[in-house]
Amino acid sequence: MVYFLLSSNNDAENISELLYKISEKMGELDSPFRLVVIDDGSTDQTRDIVTSLKKHLPIDLHSH
C-alpha cells in the first residue's frame, strides 16, 4: 500500500486534477494506494471538492 500525504491550502483550482492524476498512475501500476489530504485552513472550496471526490477515490481528509 502506498500512501500519499498532500498538504493543501486554497487549492480548489488544482486539487481535483492532481488527485485524479495520482489515481490514474497508480491504476496503471496496479498498486493499492491511499490519498491523505491535509487541508491547512483553506478559505476556498478545497475541502468541499476533496469531500466530493471521496465517493470516487480512496481519500482521507484532515482539516484544521
Using one digit for the tens of pLDDT, what is the confidence trace for 7-44?
A: 999 999 999 999 999 999 999 999 999 999 999 999 99
- Using CB atoms within 10 A of its CB, is residue 22 exposed (0-12), middle (13-18) or buried (19+)? middle
Nearest to 33 by CA among 42, 44, 46, 22: 22
Give the CA radius of gyration of the chain: 11
Predicted structure pTM score: 0.92
Nearest to 63 by CA among 4, 3, 7, 2: 7
Identity of residue 29: L
